Structures are given as structure tokens and as C-alpha cells.
């Protein structure tokens, strides 16, 4: 480290989430962190801090510092809402029944196609602000409510535009294979042709997506159709992920893992073979307890088996107008523990280190370590266990994005 730095935070306890340090949090008590050029240049026990002149010094007052949170699976940009469908489901209709009757994802497709880019942008802003107020510094945003080239592009451009105006990195994913659009009714293979031959190449040409996703389910696409989307994405040099095994078991998780997917998401219905395929290929399990909760599902993902097999488990909001209209990653930490059996330390790893891995970004964020981005959150708490345990009153006291203090208000 040089003898001067931009920012020095001292008198903090760091939940580094560094797996090479002991304990679930990789905790360093009474720590100091030095930042230059938006990156951490030194972190460790304060007494070992080398001589350093800082442009700005922050006294952490004994609070806890964590990595900036990463929400690795959202459908943040969409038109309309589905409150009436929620009431129908409370009345007994299932998610699949609503979808088969032309509602569900297709209802949001109609609203998203009808919305202007400006309307989509302003609709997404309050949801993004809610995430940012909780210390989220990286958000993945999927398309998938266009299901035609122009609207898919409109969604992805809107997502990119949000990052120009808010202190957040937005990672975009093309989810054109989300549902069968009505104009292709009865012709799913032809729609997959459109995805592979028109939509994905255009998105790749404009560099509008960082990855490609798909929904493999009886109300969406088959494993074979998803395999075609994966093959095309690989040809275009785009990493892949999949909505898999959410409502039934299909083999999508094994297929996607063997094809090198970054993550498979939902996975309530995976088998032991799927878990083995994920472990073997380093595929991250993205757990979405908010969708499980909202749809009042009963089958939980096999967390014990994933843990025993060493599969990284991320947690995310899945923020979307159907299965999870809940803009809180902190609440997902609590649900991940209460509903799925994660430990509080696993929940924090799930929204930092493992979420970064699910996006292919583990070299740049998700852990407090020299060389990584200085995305960091200071919390007024006595133990990091409070992040999963408490909800509502515990808010970040400071948020740093690329080393800059971006705390709102
Ligand atoms: O992750 N499973 C498919 N897609 C979304 C839900 C989209 C919607 O209902 O609008 C999900 O749950
Ligand atoms: Fe989703």
C-alpha cells in the first residue's frame, strides 16, 4: 500500500465474508480499511495498519462494515402490476392456473409492451431506491416481459439507464425465453428460433446483456428448448443462468449445470443428481424465498444437501410483479433463515460473496479484501447476526459505492 489513500475507515468491525478467514463472517474486529481509486487497498486489524495519510477519515465508532449487498436475480423493470391476480391466488387459483388462463407473465408482457421507455424507467425507480436504501450496490435486472425484439431491448436499455443515474452497478440479463408470447401460441419451437436467431444476436451486438436466462417449466419451455438457448448464448459468448425446478422437476438444473451455467435459480424441486451436477460444475444455487413465500409453496430447496455438497448458496429478491413484489433483500435474508434453514452467516454470504459468484463477479466484489471494489456498508449493530434476525429498524448508517459515500438523506 502507498503512504496516502483517498479514504480510511477505522474503528470498525469488518464482516469481510472472506472464506480464507475463520468463522462464517470472516470477521476482523477493531479493523481499518484503506481505499484508493475506488478499491480497497488495505484491510486488517487496526494495530497493523501501515503509516498512511488519508484525504478523508471515517470513524466507524465500533459499528460493523460489510460488503455492499448484491441482488443477483431481479425483474426490476416492468409495466403495470398484478394486484388483482394476487387476490385471485389468495382465493385459491394457482400460479400455473392464472398463467394458463393468459394472466401471469403474459399480463405483465402486455403492460410492458404498452409502456414507454420513460414510463418503465419511472416505474422502476422506487423499487431500485428501496433496494439501494438497504445497502445494495449491485443489482441484476432481467428482460423477459417483452418477448419480442423491441420490447426486450427497451427493458434492457432502461435497466442500463438506471445505472447512469443511481449509485449502483446494474448487471443485465436477457430472459427472452421467459414465456411463450401469444402470437406464437402453439408454436414454441418457432419462438425459440426467434430468440436464437434474432433476439439474442441483436442483444449481443448492442452489448445490452451480460448474460442469458430462461424459464424451464411446464408453463414455459422444455429442457430441449432451453438447451438450444444455452447453445446459442455460448456461441455468442454470453454466460447463462436458468430459472429451474421452481414448480416441478425437469432435469433443467443438471442440463444447465453441465453446460457451465453461472447459476440455477429457485430449485425447490431439484434431485440428488442435480445437486451433484451443481457441485461438480461450480454452479451457484440462487435461492428465492420471497417467491416461495408469495406463491405459498410448500416444497423447500434441499439446503442441507447443497451445504453438504459445498454448493454456494446465494439469496435474492426475484423482485417481480407476480411471484415476488417485495423490494427488500434484507427481508430475503430473514426468510432464507426462517423458511429455508440458512444460518445468519450463510444469509449474509448469500447476498454478498455467493451473489457476486452467481453473476460471475467474484473477482471484483462480494468480499472485503484488498484489490476488490470498495462497495461497503456500515451498520449500527453489535453482531452481523442482526442482519438476518432484525427487519425494519436496522438501516445502514453509511453506504460506500466505489469508495464514495452515497448514503441517502
Ligand atoms: O422468477 N419463474 C418465472 N419468472 C419469475 C416470475 C415472473 C412473473 O410471475 O412475472 C420468477 O418467479
Ligand atoms: Fe425470476
Ligand 2 being an ion, which residues bring their Cβ within 5 A of it? Answer: 318
Q: Is 228 helix (H, G, I), strand (E, B) or coil?
A: helix
Q: Across residues 334-351, what is the average pLDDT?
A: 98
User: 247 by DSSP, 3-state: which?
Assistant: coil
Nearest residue (by CA) to ligand 1, atom 8, is 322
> Among 4, 3, 5, which residue's Cα sits nearest to residue 40?
5
State pLDDT tens for residues 230-262: 999 999 999 999 999 999 999 999 999 999 999
Residue range 162-182: mean pLDDT, rounded: 98
Ligand 1: which atom is nearest the Cα of residue 243?
2
Q: How far apart are CA 402 and CA 398, in angstroms?
A: 13
Query: What separation in Å is there between the alpha carbon of 196 and the centre of ligand 2?
Result: 20
Closest residue by Cα to atom 6, ligand 1, is 323
The neighbour count for residue 1, using CB atoms within 10 Å, is: 13
Ligand nearest to the CA of 112: 1
Q: What is the DSSP letter of 182?
A: G
Q: What is the pLDDT of residue 408?
A: 80
Compute the distance between CA of residue 200 and CA of residue 245 in angstroms, rounded to an integer.
24
Q: pLDDT confidence of 1, banded at 50, 70, 90?
A: low
Q: Chain-wide mean pLDDT for the chain?
A: 97
* pLDDT value of position 409: 58
- State the Cα–Cα distance between residues 335 and 110, nearest whole angstrom: 31
Which residue, 316, 321, 390, is CA-closest to 359? 316
**pLDDT per residue as tens digits for the range 42-82:** 999 999 999 889 999 999 999 999 999 999 999 999 999 99
Residues 108/322, Cβ–Cβ less than 8 Å: yes
Q: Is the pLDDT of residue 299 over 90?
A: yes
How far is ligand 2, taken at its centre, from the CA of residue 229, in Å?
Answer: 17
- 80 Cα: distance to centroid of ligand 1 (angstroms): 15
Q: Average pLDDT, stretch 168-191? A: 98
Report the separation in Å between the CA atom of 179 and the middle of ligand 1, taken as the mean of its atom positions: 10
pLDDT > 90 in the chain, percent:
98
Provide the whole-model pTM: 0.98
Which of 99, 297, 315, 318 is the pocket-test mutation for ligand 1 (most atoms within 8 Å of CB)?
A: 318
pLDDT on residue 2: 59
pLDDT-based confidence at 205, cuts 50/70/90? very high
**Ligand 1 atom 9, closest CA:** 322
Query: Cβ < 6 Å from ligand 1: which residues?
Result: 75, 104-105, 108, 215, 243, 246, 291, 318, 320-323
> 285-322 burial, b for 16+ CB within 10 Å, e for fewer?
bbbbbbbbbbbebeeebbbebbeeeebbbbbbbbbbbb
Nearest CA to ligand 1 atom 12: 323
Give me the residues paired with residue 15 across strands. 27
Ligand 1: centre distance to CA 401 (Å):
29
**C-alpha angle 354-358-364 in degrees, rounded to nearest 5:** 75
Amino acid at each position: 500500500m502507498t503512504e496516502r489513500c483517498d479514504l480510511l475507515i477505522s474503528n470498525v468491525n469488518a464482516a469481510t465474508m472472506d472464506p480464507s478467514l475463520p468463522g462464517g463472517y470472516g470477521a476482523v474486529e477493531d479493523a481499518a480499511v484503506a481505499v484508493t481509486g475506488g478499491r480497497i487497498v488495505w484491510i486488517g486489524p487496526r494495530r497493523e495498519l501501515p503509516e498512511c495519510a488519508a484525504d478523508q477519515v471515517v470513524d466507524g465508532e465500533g459499528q460493523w462494515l460489510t460488503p455492499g449487498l448484491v441482488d443477483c436475480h431481479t425483474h426490476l423493470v416492468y409495466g403495470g402490476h398484478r394486484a388483482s391476480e394476487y387476490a385471485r391466488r389468495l382465493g385459491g387459483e394457482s400460479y400455473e392456473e392464472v398463467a394458463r388462463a393468459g394472466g401471469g407473465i403474459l399480463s405483465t408482457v402486455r403492460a410492458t409492451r404498452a409502456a414507454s421507455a420513460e414510463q418503465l424507467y419511472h416505474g422502476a425507480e422506487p423499487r431500485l431506491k428501496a433496494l439501494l436504501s438497504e445497502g445494495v450496490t449491485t443489482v441484476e435486472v432481467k428482460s423477459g416481459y417483452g418477448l419480442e425484439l423491441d420490447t426486450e431491448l427497451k427493458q434492457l436499455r432502461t435497466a442500463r439507464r438506471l445505472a447512469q443515474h443511481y449509485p449502483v452497478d446494474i448487471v443485465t440479463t436477457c430472459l427472452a425465453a421467459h414465456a411463450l408470447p401469444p402470437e406464437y401460441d402453439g408454436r414454441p419451437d418457432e419462438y425459440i428460433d426467434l430468440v436464437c436467431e434474432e433476439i439474442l444476436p441483436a442483444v449481443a451486438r448492442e452489448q445490452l446483456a451480460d448474460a442469458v436466462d430462461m424459464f424451464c417449466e411446464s408453463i414455459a419451455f422444455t429442457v430441449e428448448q432451453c438447451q438450444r438457448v444455452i447453445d446459442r448464448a455460448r456461441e455468442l459468448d454470453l454466460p447463462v443462468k436458468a430459472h429451474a425446478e421452481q414448480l416441478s422437476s425437469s432435469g433443467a438444473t443438471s442440463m444447465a449445470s453441465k453446460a457451465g451455467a453461472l447459476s440455477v435459480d429457485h430449485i425447490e424441486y431439484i434431485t440428488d443428481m442435480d445437486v451433484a451436477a451443481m457441485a461438480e460444475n461450480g454452479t451457484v444455487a440462487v435461492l428465492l424465498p420471497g417467491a416461495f413465500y408469495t406463491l405459498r409453496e410448500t416444497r423447500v430447496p434441499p439446503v442441507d444437501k447443497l451445504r453438504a455438497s459445498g454448493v454456494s448458496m446465494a439469496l435474492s429478491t426475484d423482485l417481480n410483479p407476480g411471484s415476488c413484489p417485495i423490494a427488500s433483500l434484507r427481508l430475503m435474508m430473514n426468510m432464507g433463515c426462517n423458511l429455508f434453514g440458512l444460518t445468519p452467516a450463510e444469509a449474509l454470504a448469500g447476498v454478498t460473496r455467493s451473489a457476486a459468484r452467481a453473476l460471475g463477479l467474484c473477482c471484483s466484489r462480494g468480499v472485503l479484501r484488498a484489490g476488490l471494489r470498495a462497495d461497503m456498508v456500515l451498520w449500527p449493530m453489535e453482531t452481523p447476526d442482526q442482519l438476518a434476525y432484525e427487519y425494519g429498524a436496522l438501516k445502514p448508517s453509511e453506504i460506500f459505492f466505489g469508495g464514495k459515500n452515497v448514503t441517502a438523506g
